[in-house]
Structure 1
């Protein structure tokens, strides 16, 4: 799987900018991303802070490792 060019902190910052009133097309233009990517992030990470996001990533990695071990 391809690594994202945005770090977890950047994703959180972009989502917070939208919550503070910056429009989606403006954010996408500023950061060089698609609106589909923004909405995907909002669905997945909306309402999270950095610590929750880190925990989610750890759980996903553990789940991936366990699935690989089981197969």
Structure 2
């Protein structure tokens, strides 16, 4: 499996999609599979970027 690097904006966008899907009742493993990331990556990103908006990354 090829490793890909995501930009901060891409990470925040994926976290937004995850929040929407989780709000609709999907489980974390299902959401991660749809986003093509591991659960470990999801939780790490959520911890690091969870409350950020894309505008905050430009600073």
Give 1 or 2 for the bigger CA radius of gyration. 1
| TM-score calculated relative to the size of structure 2 | 0.66
CA RMSD of aligned residues (A): 2.1
The structure whose RCO (Cα within 8 Å, separation 6+) is larger is 2
Consecutive unaligned residues in structure 2, runs of 5 or more:
none
The gaps in structure 1 that reach 5 residues or longer are 56-71
Which TM-score applies when normalising by structure 1? 0.57
**Runs of 4+ deviating beyond 3 Å:** none
Of Structure 1 and Structure 2, the greater helix share is in 1
